[in-house]
Amino acid sequence: MPQLSLKPLLAAVLLCALAACGHGNSTATATGSAAATAAPASSGPIKVVTTISTFDSFVQAVGGSHVTVQSLVPVGASPETYQPTPQNVAVLAQANILVENGAGLETWLARTISNAGSKSLRIVVGTDGLPIVKNNPHLWMDPQYAKHYVSLIRDALVQFDPAHAADYRANAARYNAQLDALTASIRRKIDSVPAKNRAMIVFHNAWLYYNARFGIRTLGFIEPSPGQDPNPKNIGKLIDLAKANGLHAIFSEPEYSPKLAQQIARSAGITLVTNLYDDSLGTKPEVSNYISMLNYDTDIIVQAMR
Ligand SMILES: [Zn+2]
């Protein structure tokens, strides 16, 4: 008996489904397939958010005037120990595309994305498809790997905004050619240092991929792995390494306390360099974009290693 009483309801549901009841958008459905993958024409520039400021250059180079970009981690802060803010969540909730590094750099990000709750956010993971060594996330520090980030950003913009695909492709090709020129210029500079001097001890191992590309030996680092607390027990070993290899300098970044690096420099009788940039751009013009940052770093490294 109850089955009989359900019949009229079932019929109504079926009729309703056939007639697209309550939506009244049958024309939108018919023409909407292209719009479903493209940016709405009236929404202004595409909002791209990056995790670290170093990636902003890639987005600006490829997106040009079609995009706006901002980073979640402020200039001068470390992404490995970053504590996201409510402001970050709000920015992410409004974003169209997020560019992150992956490879364990942004351990706080999954929760921030979830808190932002955006259902339409597209995510570019820059290290996707690159060879990650020893769980070290700093692949962008090799300008040849940076080209891969640029290509993934290009693909995401082409997919999101096909109307400007030609612009994104031309911009990415131009910027990647600049990264090839940068690679050649860094190589020339590093090659000018006597081979026996091409070695570094660094505060945090952001230099693994850069050093591998340009033939610099990474002798050691004060942080056991990116984001972990420095290991004071390691200091004696690093002092011995610096002396045994005749190092001229030890390298750190403005965002870290110079204390332990100072201790090594003093004990080994070598120079302390504290102004390298890697996880973050700087506020000075000479370190305000990726290419100028790597040129600046390279000049400092070359001068200190000589
Ligand atoms: Zn780092």
pLDDT tens digit string along 241-289? 999 999 999 999 998 889 999 999 999 999 999 999 999 999 999 999 9
Is position 39 within any domain?
A: no
Nearest to 210, CA basis, from 251, 239, 242, 265: 251
The range of the structural domain enclosing residue 95 comes to: 46-185
Tell me what pLDDT residue 21 has.
34
Is position 12 within any domain?
A: no
Domain count, the chain: 2
Contact yes or no for 80/226 (Cβ under 8 A) = yes
Residue 198 and residue 179 in one domain: no
Tell me what pLDDT residue 231 has.
76
Is position 36 within any domain?
A: no
Dist. CA 258 → ligand 1 center (Å): 16
Residue 215 and residue 116 in one domain: no
Is position 33 within any domain?
A: no
Dist. CA 220 → ligand 1 center (Å): 15
Residue 202 and residue 292 in one domain: yes
Which of these three, 169, 185, 201, is where a domain ends?
185
Tell me what pLDDT residue 6 has.
40
Residue 174 and residue 255 in one domain: no
Phi, psi of 124 (to 5 degrees): -105, 125
Nearest to 280, CA basis, from 51, 69, 75, 55: 75
Tell me what pLDDT residue 36 has.
42
Residue 58 and residue 116 in one domain: yes
pLDDT one-digit tens code per residue, 217-229: 999 999 987 778 8
Is position 37 within any domain?
A: no
Residue 100 and residue 127 in one domain: yes
Q: How far is CA 165 from CA 17, 156, 162, 176, in A?
A: 38, 10, 5, 16
In the chain, which residues have pLDDT < 50? Answer: 1-37, 39, 41
Dist. CA 205 → ligand 1 center (Å): 7
Which of these three, 134, 157, 185, is where a domain ends?
185
Dist. CA 79 → ligand 1 center (Å): 7
Is position 10 within any domain?
A: no
Tell me what pLDDT residue 227 has.
75
Dist. CA 209 → ligand 1 center (Å): 12
- CATH (domain of 57): 3.40.50.1980
Residue 202 and residue 146 in one domain: no
Tell me what pLDDT residue 226 has.
74
Task: Give this prediction's pTM.
Answer: 0.85
Is position 269 within any domain?
A: yes
Dist. CA 280 → ligand 1 center (Å): 9
Dist. CA 279 → ligand 1 center (Å): 5
Is position 202 within any domain?
A: yes
Which of these three, 137, 160, 185, is where a domain ends?
185
